[in-house]
Amino acid sequence: MKPAKQQRSRTKFIFITGGVLSSLGKGLAAAAIGALLESRGLKITFQKLDPYINVDPGTMNPFQHGEVYVTDDGAETDLDLGHYERYTSVSLGQRNNYTSGRIYHTVISKERRGEYLGGTVQVIPHITDEIKKAVRQLEDEVDVAIVEIGGTIGDIESLPFLEAIRQLRTDLGRENTIYIHVTLVPYIKTAGEVKTKPTQHSVKELRAIGIQPDILLCRTETTLSDELKDKIGLFCNVERDAVITARDVDDIYEVPLCFHAEGLDDKILKLLNIWTGAPRLEPWQELVAKIKNPIREVPIAIIGKYVELKESYKSLHEALVHGGVANDARVVLHYVSAEDIEAQGPSQLLAHCHGILVPGGFGGRGVAGKIMAITHAREQKVPFFGICLGMQLATVEFARNIAGLADADSTEFNPGSPHPVIYFIKEWYDYRTSRVQIREESGELGGTLRLGSYPCTLREKTFARAAYGVEQVDERHRHRYEFNNEYRERLVEAGLVISGTSPDDKLVEIVELADHPWFLGCQFHPEFKSRPMRPHPLFAAFIKAALDHQG
């Protein structure tokens, strides 16, 4: 019997795995590699394969999973896709993030439809084939696809993904695939030594399942010496110049420059047999210089309920940093618990901040504290930025305290409110599909959101129009409740400015206060479209207003 012919691909694949422990920065490493390859003129894309059984991260607790990132096409994805988009020019979507739950759901659905002709459905080949099919969707559209495997080597749930990428080397060819393993080389302070054993054991685990890493990214506090690189290379069967120091940096946007200094991009191109010109790294150098040498500094308060885990607000954090870059300023972020404001009041907790931001969120916990913070911002004329829930609560606060609707509320928190200024919308026109979307409040939790990119028309002579400088924009949404148009006329008469709506004027997207230095709430999530070299206009305008308030 003749051996099966390998199916060659124009696209080269980089598979990134992690060992020893979680939070080593595989996502940032993948993003930085993408930035380096893109700086050389290559067309790239990314994919994140997550081992957990949830179909998507949309209903997962931010304390466990961190931020849910939303793409233009409405995919609720892992936060690493935010890193990928911020570091490069790619636009990602549904096919760029797969979980075990999504893969198994597809296979089980096929089995129920009889597509396996009554055969026994197994992890190998059925699950692994479905994973490979998901990966190979990226073929022939880009020069390089960077695929990150979530979890840590040794986790039982990640084994099907690792087996799939092991098989893909045979399917695609050695010259079209490389494996990069991110691992830990810790410094043991009491011994005064850097230890390579965790990396050796991690690579041993990886090799035991049939994957020999081509490159090692060694997370460490300091630069690895040549002697240590020799030792790691010897015991892990990796070339010395493929042992890369991935040292801790002061700012995450330094990572591409550090990797280039270590020769990582040159090594990748050599292994994949790709020729390119030299990278254009000047934009990254200028960005890092701006971040490290700001002219001014401004403190901003973020009022949330997940403040113990900063990963819950990852894109928001970065967008505020980008807003600072646009103004040659360092943004000092103060995460303030909404429940602390409820207990202590806003005056003391927010007195030192020159901008107040209330982000998105779900559920009633902390809502009273967020509304108190909004009242403080409105009365004290502190620049205010409300995002999603923050915009909805700004509407509630205005209705209660300015428009005379003392019992105004959102039906999310008070279904029986006599004045539901924010309510669950059951249908709206979807500009992406050109049809009406219908949602039932009693439906599955993951199926009742307005998700993805929608157009917004901006009114002239408003904060929003001044920031964007154009009449229409597209922004990403992730929410279940909307501004109730039954109260629109009354709130406008009381002084609320509606500065952004859907093109058909049926959905309120942005509200403002005219008699305020800068007070804006938007229904969408602008943080998902902010980039370090293209800061989002609303964040740039908010930080400028905060700097002006500071004087």
Rounded to 5 degrees, what are φ and ψ at 324? -65, -45
Rounded to 5 degrees, what are φ and ψ at 518? -170, 110
Rounded Cα distance between 149 and 176, Å, is 18
Rounded Cα distance between 410 and 370, Å, is 14
Which DSSP string corresponds to 349-411?
HHTT-S-EEE----SSTTHHHHHHHHHHHHHTT--EEEETHHHHHHHHHHHHHTSS-TTEEET
Specify burial of residue 80 (Cβ count, 10 A radius: 0-12, 13-18, 19+).
buried
Identify the active-site residue in 318, 482, 527, 536: 527
Evaluate whether 108 touches 132 at the Cβ level (below 8 Å). Answer: no
**Structure tokens given for 520:** 């804006």
Identify the active-site residue in 388, 456, 475, 482: 388
Q: What is the largest CA-CA distance in the chain?
A: 83
Asked if 139 is an active-site residue, the reply is: no
Identify the active-site residue in 126, 376, 477, 525: 525
C-alpha 105: how far from its chain's center?
24
Rounded Cα distance between 327 and 24, Å, is 31
Residue the block writes with tokens 């630069």: 223
Rounded Cα distance between 448 and 463, Å, is 31
Rounded to 5 degrees, what are φ and ψ at 100? -55, -40
Asked if 527 is an active-site residue, the reply is: yes
- The residues carrying an active-site annotation are 388, 525, 527
